[in-house]
Chains A and B, each alone.
Chain A
Amino acid sequence: MDNIIIYIETEGGKISDVSLELLTKGRTLAGELSCKLEALIIGSSVEQHTQELFSYGAETVYIAQDKRLEHYLTLPYSAITIDLFKKERPQIALFGATSIGRDLAPRVSSALVSGLTADCTSLEIGDHKEVKSGKEYRNLLYQIRPAFGGNIIATIINPDCRPQMATVREGVMKKEPLKTPVKGVVKVIETKDIIKPEDFVVEIIERHIEERKIDIKGSPIIIAGGFGVGSKENFNLLYELASVLGAEVGASRAAVDAGFAEGARQIGQTGITVRPKLYIAAGISGQIQHTAGMDQSAMIISINSDPNAPIHQIADYAIIGDMNEIIPRMIKSYKLNSK
């Protein structure tokens, strides 16, 4: 009762990073609330992971093991999670904001009629006073997330319903094992009693790795490279920055023509028009045919070694210098500051 349960995801026989990050955060929250940190893991052979979960602070590990549960399936996985939450009544339940967590958590929250906040970037404990009734709540989970396309930051609470549920994206929170693992306990969930044959009506017929199509238009942050990037290999720096910022990579026509990037990434008059909240232009001179496709961006950062490059004139921040030095510094600084 009243503990914190982290839903543990596995992938390729390993615990996902996001689950370990949630356990790390969960330890702090459990400390503030003086409650226990617990973990739920579901799969076909998952007991091998208990030691690692203990070393991240899980005091109880609930294991649901069944050969039919090798791959994630919405219905049986949610049946097990709902059943456990009904019995254990956690005050907080956290899931990774992965394709699994974002499929499972809403289903569970609907069945339990408890609130759920997606993609939190920060979780804190705090109090709340209801303005109308004057009712006071202590030790609620503040679920903090960007909303409205990243234009506002909202703090969400669930005053009355339990568990308070949230999903968090991978990489947002820090991951840190304990120096000495806790001496936790394992509790085995009898899956036979919970899942029904009808829970397997949706069958997986095939799965394979397939690259995602490029989707620049939908991205709130774009890192674009131009001819000044110099080579296809140097473009990897832009992909690296994009991956830490959750951004997409765009390109000027000269970069596309030189074979540095795919045509689908071209921004400008003969490419696509974008208006992200942040546009970083590296090694792009800023010819009108390019800027026509991006000058409405909410914020522009230009990186160009030529102090007179026209791109600097439309930038909010103009960095004069070599992008090969600047981009790695941005990545380093982001990693230092973001956690």
Chain B
Amino acid sequence: MTKKLKIVVLAKQVPDTRNVGKNAMKEDGTVNRAALPAIFNPEDMNALEQALRLKDSHPGSVVLLLTMGPARAAEIIREGYYRGADGGVLLTDRKFAGADTLATSYALAMALKKMQPDIIIAGRQAIDGDTAQVGPQVAEKLSLPQVTYAEDIVGFEKNRLVVKRRLERGVESVRTPLPVVITVHATAPECRPRNAKQLMRFKHARTLTEEQDNEHNSYLPLVSPESLRIPEWSVADVGGEESHYGLSGSPTKVKKIENIVFQAKESKRLTSSFEEIDMLMSELISSHTIG
């Protein structure tokens, strides 16, 4: 007998920091963050694939996405639909602004309490911060076990889920009861491509905010049918302590930000002498290009 699972995938819209090409550089050699395209965080894609595989092997299961971000992060829910998910929620509120990983985890945990999933799957980390903290912190906030760095969610064995984990020097298989929080590693299989039928069907899925904005987007149909409405939840919808959200719920503060200056175009020629190589390496270290 296979069970029907309710799976929630945590996904984040991030600037594509891995593809900082020369055209995303400013005159002063620093990165123009605004010029980076917003993408579906890569490891969250791996997480989505694991969820969809569970749905394939457990017919009748539901895969939902949960994302926190500004209005345009609704794109994450649409992308999920295109690849086979059944829907999702955009968690969006000015009160979330300035959240560090702890305040983010609190907000996600409050929404998850409302969604009541059997399995929560997230990417290991987001490429804009690389902290890998949100998964474990969500698990702690919900008092659930966590299985990090999953490479393969193998399947059920006596009502327990077997997960293969990728560690620094090898792999480990664990067995966990549900509900559980799983974070997925980049070495897990890539996400399946968009499905053309799903794309046609869900490209008009909209949040209310997007619909109200529609006068600026004349190429979109004016009102999407109720079934294509992407729900938006605010602090009022998920409840909890206001002081735990956003900036006030964030113990860490950014004191200083230093932009890294990448080299200007002009090419320098060096010989192979140790002195010249040493100078280059010191320069790379002090500009934080390496080290």
Residues of A participating in the B interface, judged by any CB pair closer than 8 Å: 74-75, 78, 98-99, 102-103, 105-107, 109-111, 113-119, 121, 128, 142-143, 146-161, 201-210, 212-213, 215, 217-218, 220-221, 245, 275-278, 296-299, 301, 312-313, 315-322, 325-326, 329-330, 332-334, 336-338
Is A118 within 8 A of B131, CB to CB? yes
Is A154 within 8 A of B257, CB to CB? yes
Min distance, Cβ B11 to any Cβ of chain A, angstroms: 17
Is A149 within 8 A of B17, CB to CB? yes
Is B21 within 8 A of A333, CB to CB? no
User: Which residue on B lies nearest to A12, using beta carbons?
Assistant: B169
CA–CA, A159 and B255, complex, Å:
10
User: Which residue on A lies nearest to B141, using beta carbons?
Assistant: A110
B22 within 8 A of A: yes
Is A155 within 8 A of B130, CB to CB? no
Give the contacting residue for A203; candidates B20, B135, B174; CB below 8 A: B174
Give the contacting residue for B288; candidates A98, A150, A203; CB below 8 A: A150
CA–CA, A272 and B265, complex, Å:
24
- Residues from chain B with a CB closer than 8 A to the CB of A118 are 129-133
User: Which residue on A lies nearest to B162, using beta carbons?
Assistant: A205
B193 within 8 A of A: no
- Residues from chain A with a CB closer than 8 A to the CB of B166 are 212
Give the contacting residue for B174; candidates A147, A151, A202; CB below 8 A: A202
Give the contacting residue for B268; candidates A114, A245, A317; CB below 8 A: A317
CA–CA, A205 and B155, complex, Å:
14
CA–CA, A153 and B288, complex, Å:
8
CA–CA, A121 and B286, complex, Å:
12
CA–CA, A128 and B168, complex, Å:
37
Sample of 5 more A-B contacts, CB < 8 Å, known A114-B251, A221-B290, A299-B263: A103-B148, A147-B130, A149-B18, A158-B252, A330-B277
B201 within 8 A of A: no
User: Which residue on A lies nearest to B256, using beta carbons?
Assistant: A155
Is A333 within 8 A of B170, CB to CB? no
Is A201 within 8 A of B280, CB to CB? no
Give the contacting residue for B172; candidates A121, A204, A212; CB below 8 A: A204
State which size class the interface on B falls in: 35 or more
- Report which residue of A114, A317, A332 has the largest number of chain B beta carbons within 10 angstroms of its beta carbon: A317
Q: B residues 153-211 with Cβ under 8 Å of A?
A: 162, 166-177, 180, 186-187
B50 within 8 A of A: no
User: Which residue on B lies nearest to A204, using beta carbons?
Assistant: B174
Is A218 within 8 A of B131, CB to CB? no
B100 within 8 A of A: yes
CA–CA, A336 and B271, complex, Å:
20
Min distance, Cβ B82 to any Cβ of chain A, angstroms: 22
Give the contacting residue for A154; candidates B19, B254, B263, B291; CB below 8 A: B254
B281 within 8 A of A: yes
A316-B267 contact given A148-B33, A329-B272, CB 8 Å threshold: yes
- Residues from chain A with a CB closer than 8 A to the CB of B102 are 109-110, 113, 115-116
- Residues from chain A with a CB closer than 8 A to the CB of B133 are 102, 105-106, 109, 116, 118
- Residues from chain B with a CB closer than 8 A to the CB of A210 are 170-171
B25 within 8 A of A: yes
Q: B residues 120-138 with Cβ under 8 Å of A?
A: 127-137
Q: 1/0 contact trace for B3-23 toward A, CB 8 Å?
A: 000000000000101111111
- Residues from chain A with a CB closer than 8 A to the CB of B250 are 115
CA–CA, A75 and B174, complex, Å:
13
B260 within 8 A of A: yes
- Residues from chain B with a CB closer than 8 A to the CB of A154 are 254, 256-258
A326-B262 contact given A158-B252, A298-B25, CB 8 Å threshold: no
Is B170 within 8 A of A299, CB to CB? no
Give the contacting residue for B255; candidates A142, A151, A330; CB below 8 A: A142
- Residues from chain A with a CB closer than 8 A to the CB of B260 are 146, 150-153
- Residues from chain A with a CB closer than 8 A to the CB of B176 are 201-203
Which 8 pairs from chain A and chain B are nearest by CB? A149-B17, A321-B272, A115-B251, A115-B252, A296-B21, A161-B251, A110-B140, A106-B133
Give the contacting residue for B251; candidates A113, A318, A336; CB below 8 A: A113
Show 7 A/B contacts (Cβ-Cβ < 8 Å), sorted by A: A147-B128, A148-B31, A202-B177, A203-B175, A207-B170, A213-B187, A333-B278
User: Which residue on A lies nearest to B21, using beta carbons?
Assistant: A296
Is B170 within 8 A of A209, CB to CB? yes
Is A74 within 8 A of B145, CB to CB? yes
